[in-house]
Structure 1
Amino acid sequence: MQVQLETLSNLERRMNIALPMAAIDAQVTERLKRVARNAKIQGFRPGKAPLKIVEMNYGAQVREEVLGEQVQQGFYKAVTEQKLRVAGYPQFAPPVVQDGAENFSFSATFEVYPEVKVGELADKEIEKPTASVADAEVEKTIDILRKQRTRFNRVERAAAEGDRVIIDFKGTIDGVAFEGGSAENFPFVLGQGQMLADFEAGVTGLKEDETKNIEVSFPEDYHGKDVAGKTAVFSITVKNVAEPQLPEVDGEFAKMLGIADGDVDKMRAEIRKNVEREMKRRLQARTKENVMQALLDVTEIELPKALVQLEIGRLVEQAQRDLQSRGMNIKDMPLPPELFQKQAERRVALGLILAELVDINKLEASPEKVKALVEEFAESYEQPEEMVKWYYASPDRLEGPTSMVLEDNVVEFVLSKAKVTEKELSFEELMGNNA
């Protein structure tokens, strides 16, 4: 095998490879002999046709298969001998096979992995957020859990904010009904912004069995383009008014949350534990994000275009699966690859940087750390030991926890090298809209 390597740019290479045609011809002949053993050719019993006849029928196909295999094998043998790390997939130029040639020649263009040299971290300042769980946070969480279990009781008074109403409505624009403008037995809670403000204002103050006509102006940027910027008249009939009733914080409420004996103190302790677990997860996520950004800031790296394109493809597929899971028809919603360019570049860059740090500094995920993380995951399930068994039943299931431990090791390493400043966050700042 003859190999000639060309450098086209920092990362792009072209490899010209020549393979002896005699060896390829020998492989073609050998494979034709195997085909001849079972070949069914008209006029001959199975396996009894002369090799020349078999070659006339199957020769072109067999030669094409052998050449394809030789291209793949020759390329990967050559890059191994040259100690090249190929990034992505090579592009093979269509080979030209000349009759009587001594060699079969082809070329492949590809990119190699860049040399990654992580920048200096000693002077890099990284913010590490901190937070704590106080009794007030536990009580806020209990209030959220109570609201999630709200019951509505029918009342005979006028509807007010916070009440759930069930209505029939018919809407028209210039006297003509429009799509989506009518419904029967439609429930919603006043004051939660489920309906347009004009609509909710018109329902507020009505009692059961009362009917009223109201005008509703649709905003110019309303998602329904047919009615955006227009004014509709709705005839509304209230079928039911019900006021919210939150459960008391008692034994029954504790049982609703999975505390079998209804012990309220146990319930509070369990809620505190869950809030602390979620808070820890969010603090770790924010710290990790700050560390990753710091690594990107201090490291200059040229990215192989092939790896970025592969990552864009994965992100597009992921987005399409997400849209499908929401019942959307992805055929009507093409996703331009350029939307994912920056995200893909960031992920590829971080992947290369993290791999280098793990390799140089021996930051591999130990079995003990992986097991500890799996057990931490399992704590939120009713039968933690069963969840741990599930993870260890298949090596594939441990890939996620193992990757997370690797990232945690990198975070710990970077924080040990950089200037770390702690910043105290409030419960609301950390938990956002879920607080």
Structure 2
Amino acid sequence: MKTDVEELTPTRVKLTVEVPFDELKPNLDKAYKEIARQVRIKGFRPGKVPAPLIDKYVGRGAVLQEAVNDALPQLYGRAVEQSEIYVLGQPDVEVTRLDDGEQFAFTAEVDIRPKFEVPDYDGLEVVVDDAVVTDEKVEETIGNLRERFASLTTVDRAVQEGDFAVIDLAAEIDGEAVEDASAAGLSYEVGSNASVEGLDDALTGLKAGESTTFTAPLKGGERAGEEAQITATVQSVKVKNLPELDDEFAQLASEFDTLEELRADVRTRLERQMRMQQLAQARDRALEALLEQIDIPLPERVVEEEIKRRNQQLEQQLQMAGMTKADYLKNEDKSEEDFDAEVAEAARQAVKGGFVLDQLAVQEELSVQNEELSEYVVAQAMQMNVPPQQLAQYLTENNQLPAVVNEVLRNKALNLVVEHITIKDESGNELDVEAIQRELSGEPPRAESEEADESAETAETETSAETSSSESAEADQGDKKD
């Protein structure tokens, strides 16, 4: 088989492949067997029709086409391997020659990863947020905990902001009821602005048993965005009662006996969260700093696929949240053009980052061990709340393991970058990533005594080596005197 490679662009090539016809013989034999099972010719059992009769009644051309379709994936794979290129996506294949008994040739245009070298990243410096937990943040967290243990008490007065009103909602458009915009016995926090526009103002001042009607665009459902007549009826009015902030609350909300113990635990947990955020920031900003050092062309088709994937992901998230894209853009205060530009830039950075980490893994000769693959699958299974064996089986059956291996390789490449750069917080303190990782994993920090022991062992080793060297020298001098 002969393969020629023509570079159409730095990220796209055209393979021209010529194959001696003899190499198609296994595929032709397979094609005859397959067609023989399908045709029905009098006097022959299925699968037993001889090739000459298949050529006569079905046609040699159909057999050739079946054989070529069967052979193309393997031949294309061999051509890619011979050319030593890293292909991306599916190729555009065209059969250019099919001379029965003589020659078979085809072309394949396909996107490829650009060829480049990752420059030296030693000396890069990134800055992450400070990991400082303020008293205000501790009290805010404890306040959120109090909210979870709050109770509701019915009151006999008009609705005020901050109350919880139990309400019925009904919506109509042009006199027709909108079923998916109606609700009964809904507990709604007045002032939260969590429902249709104008509901908070409409409820304020109403007492139990009273109703009001107002006009507002629907937020979800089949008729989202359309103006509707909405009737809200108050069933009851309730106020929220927060527990007292004392030792009794600490015992109710946690395993601690005192409020001070609870505060100390909250501070420790917040510090841990901030440490984890620092590590995540360090990884993100290390990759950003590395990408700034590299300028490479990107295959537009690959970028477009990434943009499409991100948009589909957002649509799914909005559907689950009962929001439209228009609602999302309004909440984010973004125009459609600004949003599309941000998605496109994020997609380009993601594609570029993947290329750089892939190339770094090649340059550093990184590989994935079975234990690392297992650890990754277990971690993903825990996040998805499924048994690891179930996830592993799914990945295997759906041919997803190569993608998992690639993801683990990219993580290892990024970890390597993080290990070799300088990371400081906003206050100028240099971070010891390894020490933070040990702290988060629950490993004890290296004690000064351990370091002293290591220094003593090193000194003892050096002394022993010097003594041995001195004794050897004396022995040599003695041999010479003798």
Output the TM-score relative to the length of structure 1: 0.70
For residue 242 of structure 2, what is the amino acid of its counterpart? L
- Conserved? CA contact 1:32–1:51, under 8 Å: no
Query: 1:43 and 1:148, CA in 2 relative to 1: closer, same or farther beyond 3 A?
Result: same
SS of the aligned residue for 1:241 comes to strand
1:281 aligned partner: 276
For 1:137 and 1:329, how far apart are their aligned partners in 2? 33
- Conserved? CA contact 1:365–1:406, under 8 Å: no
Task: Name stretches of at least 5 consecutive residues in structure 1 with no aligned partner.
Answer: 382-386, 426-435
Query: 1:208 and 1:129, CA in 2 relative to 1: closer, same or farther beyond 3 A?
Result: same
1:315 aligned partner: 310
1:243 aligns with 2:247: no
For residue 297 of structure 1, what is the amino acid of its counterpart? E
For 1:82 and 1:405, how far apart are their aligned partners in 2? 23
Question: Deviations 1:269-316 (Å, cap 9, x if unpaired)?
Answer: 654454334323322333333222222221101113343344345435
Question: Deviations 1:332-354 (Å, cap 9, x if unpaired)?
Answer: xxx99977543322111001111
2:93 aligned partner: 92
Superposition pairs for residues 149-168 of structure 1, below 5 Å?
149-167=149-167
1:67 aligned partner: 68
SS of the aligned residue for 1:193 comes to coil
Give, in angstroms, the shift of residue 164 of structure 1.
Answer: 1.0
2:411 aligned partner: 407
For 2:409 and 2:252, how far apart are their aligned partners in 1? 35
For 1:183 and 1:329, how far apart are their aligned partners in 2? 20
For 1:288 and 1:318, how far apart are their aligned partners in 2? 23
Q: 320, 340, 350: which is aligned to 1:347?
A: 350
2:441 aligned partner: none
- Conserved? CA contact 1:3–1:17, under 8 Å: yes
- Conserved? CA contact 1:354–1:410, under 8 Å: yes
For 2:389 and 2:258, how far apart are their aligned partners in 1? 32
- Conserved? CA contact 1:121–1:414, under 8 Å: no
For 1:264 and 1:236, how far apart are their aligned partners in 2? 42
1:31 aligns with 2:30: yes
2:51 aligned partner: 51
Query: 1:271 and 1:206, CA in 2 relative to 1: closer, same or farther beyond 3 A?
Result: same
For 1:416 and 1:3, how far apart are their aligned partners in 2? 41
2:139 aligned partner: 139
Give, in angstroms, the shift of residue 144 of structure 1.
Answer: 0.6
For residue 425 of structure 2, what is the amino acid of its counterpart? E
2:448 aligned partner: none
Give, in angstroms, the shift of residue 167 of structure 1.
Answer: 3.9
For 2:11 and 2:316, how far apart are their aligned partners in 1? 33
Query: 1:83 and 1:264, CA in 2 relative to 1: closer, same or farther beyond 3 A?
Result: same
Question: Deviations 1:377-416 (Å, cap 9, x if unpaired)?
Answer: 99999xxxxx898489848599879947953762563573
For 2:141 and 2:379, how far apart are their aligned partners in 1? 21
Q: RCO greater where, 1 or 2, for CA within 8 Å and sep 6 or more?
A: 1
- Conserved? CA contact 1:17–1:107, under 8 Å: yes
1:292 aligned partner: 287
Superposition pairs for residues 303-382 of structure 1, below 5 Å?
303-323=298-318, 325-326=320-321, 340-361=343-364
Question: Deviations 1:235-255 (Å, cap 9, x if unpaired)?
Answer: 765431111012345788667
For 2:40 and 2:171, how far apart are their aligned partners in 1? 75
Quote the sequence identity (%): 24
Question: Deviations 1:140-191 (Å, cap 9, x if unpaired)?
Answer: 2121122133321111234333211234577899x97986997654432223
2:7 aligned partner: 7
- Conserved? CA contact 2:91–2:108, under 8 Å: yes
SS of the aligned residue for 2:115 comes to coil
Query: 1:99 and 1:7, CA in 2 relative to 1: closer, same or farther beyond 3 A?
Result: same
SS of the aligned residue for 1:242 comes to strand
Superposition pairs for residues 98-177 of structure 1, below 5 Å?
98=99, 102-119=102-119, 121=121, 125-134=125-134, 136-167=136-167
Task: Name stretches of at least 5 consecutive residues in structure 2 with no aligned partner.
Answer: 326-335, 429-482
SS of the aligned residue for 1:240 comes to strand
Give, in angstroms, the shift of residue 16 of structure 1.
Answer: 1.8
Give, in angstroms, the shift of residue 93 of structure 1.
Answer: 1.6
For residue 98 of structure 2, what is the amino acid of its counterpart? V
Query: Which deviates more from structure 2 when the two are superposed, residues 315-324 or residues 14-23?
Result: 315-324
For residue 308 of structure 1, what is the amino acid of its counterpart? V
For 1:74 and 1:172, how far apart are their aligned partners in 2? 63
Query: Which deviates more from structure 2 when the two are superposed, residues 309-318 or residues 13-22?
Result: 309-318
Give the count of matched residue pairs: 404
SS of the aligned residue for 1:160 comes to coil
1:78 aligns with 2:79: yes
- Conserved? CA contact 1:291–1:411, under 8 Å: no
- Conserved? CA contact 1:370–1:405, under 8 Å: no
SS of the aligned residue for 1:344 comes to helix
For 1:278 and 1:249, how far apart are their aligned partners in 2? 24
SS of the aligned residue for 1:302 comes to coil
SS of the aligned residue for 2:9 comes to coil
Query: 1:268 and 1:406, CA in 2 relative to 1: closer, same or farther beyond 3 A?
Result: farther
